[in-house]
Structure 1
Amino acid sequence: MEVQARCSNSSSGPACYEEATGSLAVIVIPALLTTSSVVMVTLIFCSILRKRRVSPLNFRGSPVEKANGRLCVSLGAVPVIPCGVRDALHPWEMPEECDVEGVELWCSGSYGPICTGQLRREGRATAVVVKTLRGRASPCEEREFAEWILFHATVCNNKSERLVRMLCCQSRRLPMYFVLEAHSPGNLLHFLWGLREKDSDKGQQPFSERSVFLLATQVAAGLDYLMTEHRVVHGYVAARNILIGPDLSARVSGLGTAFAGRQIDRATRQKPVKVPLKWLAPERITNQPAFDRSDVWSFGILLHELITSGSPPYPELEPQSVLPQLECSYRMKQPEGCGAPLYNLMKYCWMWSFKDRPTYSAIIKLLESSVDLATVETLSSRGLIDPAQYNKIAGIHPHIGVSTANPIKD
């Protein structure tokens, strides 16, 4: 079956949350979209909005052709994925009665275009993010993307309200994609930056040290769930990889680094995940194995981001100078508006030996026992953030840089 379609592009919508895959996390969208991205957006638009299913074809072929100068897509080609993965994803396949409406390209992810839209099911609409596999992907890429979907289905299955939630997927025919629930305001880092804008809605929202405690407790709960239930080290704990919803509810996202760490055949990954040095524990900077409490160090950096309204860590140091300074017992100073209990927790997270750092369960207890000591006064306003300057100070590589429009790449 062939259909003709066109997809629109927009810079508004929920934050893209493909990590800096963590990649957790964050990219600057190119001025011009690549042909591959346009093709995949067309594919996903055509595929999801069809009212009936198309029986899979018995062969693989190019799904994209040109007809009369217009873009046409042939739907139904079968991706090459392991039978075990295919069977495991069967309960997650997009139901026939579901549609995704208003599909628009949002940004580019590690595997292909990321779109926004509305999932309509039983008369109810839910804002969603749709992650797709790029067109003309190799069998190896199809297999890895299917495993990427299965990873989300296993971890983000709504058993923890502190993780981004997967809703459904399409893995039995091309184009492959999976659907995640979106959140608003969305990206935590940009929310924090918005607090600096006095004339914006975010800038007028009360945000105090107590708010930091409440958010941090939720994030710690999500990370604790990853470790205790799935033995997963997140690998890129940072504000850019946390989603924020109404009433300061938080969900952990940006699981690309975690997925990469679970890959047995890492040599097959064509795009290794890069995490900025300033968020890494010393053992990870020196390429030692990531331990469960390597993430705890990064959690301490996240606390610093929260209390400083999204300031970059170690603003006085170049990225390459961080490790030598840490070896000499250097730690960031106590930020303005940060009480002793919160700063002591930061320093606890920044113990040199991972064995001396607290577990997430211990962190949760410390946060809950100290929240009544936190101040409720709105944190003092800071200057506006320039994304380019932020990327430079934070040591974020341009390909995962932060933009004000599109915050995160997975």
Structure 2
Amino acid sequence: MAVQAQYNSSSGSDPVGYEEGSGPFALIIIPSLLALSTLIVVSQIIWSFVTKRSSAQVITGSSSSVNEGEPVPLDTGVGTLRPAQGALGLWEMPALCTLVGVEPLQMGHYGPICTAQLKEDNTSTAVVIKTLKDRSNQSEATEFVDFGLFLAAVSKHKNIVKMLYCQTRRMPMYLVLEASFPGNLLHFLWSLREDRCGAGDNFQVFSEMSVYLAAKQVAAGLDYIHSYHRTIHGDVAARNMLIGSGLSVKVSGLDWAFKSRQMRMVDKEQEVNVPVKWQAPERIMRLPITDRSDVWSFGILLYEMITLGSPPYPDLDPSEVLPNTLAHYRMKRPENCGAPLYDLIKYCCMWNFKDRPVYSAIIRLLDSYKYLADTKPLRSEQRMDICEYRRIAGLPRCQ
């Protein structure tokens, strides 16, 4: 009361909003409102943190489950596979397994690629080893583990090259993949030109019928990685397929698919590594790439197989491919190529990607047409000049 009296005596009137009897109410309600608003803000922050943490746990769980039973559809989008502690634990090389007879094969993206024999339970299996080069930094090591996770996820289909084991917990780091014999499909096709397949089993006859059987397996593998993993191969060609005994064919060369998935985009370096003659028109024009872009390349693969490894568009320079396809140019029907197979090649290589068939339709067509295929062995009197092939195909020239 003393304070109120003093104020009234000095000003002569009450201030606005502070009528008699309202002062205690204001002193109670305003701090209460401030406390309530603070509580709401803090609650929102805590809820946001919990939600993000739960989401992260879901993604991590999806990545780690690639080692279990059924394949995990990666519908969450590009780049969901992240390296984690023990992420490849179930794939680590057992102590009782050894690698013997290691021989360098070629230089890969991450380091040397070698061949070897995997000794396990008194059995010996031919394998290919992808290694991480010495003096790799932490970023490269992380990407290598990511690549291992990717292979572990997609290699569950019988027509995808399979990862058997890995070593990622210590140096040297490497991935152990199954090998096929004779191996590289393109080299095998070239060997048929010289009538020296060298397989030692039923490869003495590779006919138009064989093209259908091999193509169906490739289509099944590509359909799997797209349907189950929302992944585009990006480099479909005979050089990236493996052929084994019994005419078994597996899709390999998944580096492009992995890099585009991790980076969420396709960079110029990746595209340079894919020759123009295997690229769909939309890729050459740097438009969005879809699984139908792979279908175009699959049509080129059919041409490679029926011609025993000839380069596509043999009468065109790589720089002439886009203008000519824009003018609806089509490769001539190869020798020994039946009308149904040639029609399928043209169907896969339609200019508008929406007009190309999906893989499931391709598989049905291959099943339907194979009964019309010729069964006589494919032969070519012309031996393959590797340097000339690389020039026509638009690959780096011979050194």
Specify the TM-score bucket, using the shorter chain as the normaliser: 0.7 to 0.9
What is the aligned partner in structure 2 of residue 227 from structure 1?
226
In the alignment, is the contact (CA less than 8 A) between 1:195 and 1:202 conserved in 2? no
1:294 and 2:270 correspond: no
CA distance, structure 1, for counterparts of residue 348 and residue 236 of structure 2: 13
What is the aligned partner in structure 1 of residue 361 from structure 2?
362
In the alignment, is the contact (CA less than 8 A) between 2:182 and 2:199 conserved in 1? no
Pick aligned residue for 1:167 from 164, 169, 185: 164
State the 1:201 CA deviation.
Answer: 3.9
What is the aligned partner in structure 1 of residue 256 from structure 2?
257
1:187 and 2:170 correspond: no
In the alignment, is the contact (CA less than 8 A) between 2:165 and 2:175 conserved in 1? yes
State the 1:104 CA deviation.
Answer: 1.6
- CA distance 1:389–1:328, change in 2 (3 Å): same
In terms of Rg, which structure is larger?
A: 2
What is the aligned partner in structure 2 of residue 77 from structure 1?
none
CA distance, structure 2, for counterparts of residue 200 and residue 347 of structure 1: 29
Amino acid in the other structure paired with 1:89 = L
Deviations 1:123-162 (A, max 9, x none): 1111101110111011111111111111111111xx3110
CA distance, structure 2, for counterparts of residue 191 and residue 357 of structure 1: 28
Amino acid in the other structure paired with 2:381 = R
What is the aligned partner in structure 1 of residue 342 from structure 2?
343
What is the aligned partner in structure 2 of residue 394 from structure 1?
393
Amino acid in the other structure paired with 1:143 = T
1:372 and 2:371 correspond: yes
CA distance, structure 1, for counterparts of residue 84 and residue 196 of structure 2: 49
State the 1:200 CA deviation.
Answer: 5.6
Matching of residues 146-161 of structure 1 within 5 Å = 146-156=145-155, 159-161=156-158
CA distance, structure 2, for counterparts of residue 344 and residue 149 of structure 1: 39
CA distance, structure 1, for counterparts of residue 361 and residue 125 of structure 2: 35
CA distance, structure 2, for counterparts of residue 308 and residue 329 of structure 1: 22
Q: Secondary structure at the match of 2:124?
A: strand
CA distance, structure 2, for counterparts of residue 139 and residue 269 of structure 1: 24
- CA distance 1:268–1:213, change in 2 (3 Å): closer
Query: How many residues end up aligned between the 2 structures?
Result: 317
Q: Secondary structure at the match of 1:302?
A: helix
1:107 and 2:121 correspond: no
1:196 and 2:198 correspond: no
CA distance, structure 1, for counterparts of residue 286 and residue 159 of structure 2: 29
Matching of residues 77-88 of structure 1 within 5 Å = 84-88=83-87
What is the aligned partner in structure 1 of residue 283 from structure 2?
284
Deviations 1:212-258 (A, max 9, x none): 11111111111111111111110000000000000211000000111
What is the aligned partner in structure 1 of residue 243 from structure 2?
244
Give the TM-score taking structure 1 as reference length. Answer: 0.74
1:118 and 2:117 correspond: yes
State the 1:198 CA deviation.
Answer: 3.0
- Relative contact order (alpha carbons < 8 A, sep ≥ 6): 1 or 2 greater? 1
Q: More helix by proportion, 1 or 2?
A: 2
What is the aligned partner in structure 2 of residue 211 from structure 1?
210
What is the aligned partner in structure 1 of residue 127 from structure 2?
128
Q: Secondary structure at the match of 1:191?
A: helix
In the alignment, is the contact (CA less than 8 A) between 1:242 and 1:252 conserved in 2? yes
Q: Secondary structure at the match of 2:263?
A: coil
State the 1:120 CA deviation.
Answer: 1.1
- CA distance 1:347–1:115, change in 2 (3 Å): same
Q: Secondary structure at the match of 1:263?
A: helix
The unaligned stretches of length 5 or more in structure 1 are 1-81, 404-410
Q: Secondary structure at the match of 1:219?
A: helix
Amino acid in the other structure paired with 1:264 = M
CA distance, structure 2, for counterparts of residue 271 and residue 354 of structure 1: 21
Amino acid in the other structure paired with 1:288 = L
Amino acid in the other structure paired with 2:308 = S
Greater CA deviation, 212-221 or 191-200? 191-200
RMSD over equivalenced CA pairs, Å: 2.2
In the alignment, is the contact (CA less than 8 A) between 2:188 and 2:197 conserved in 1? no
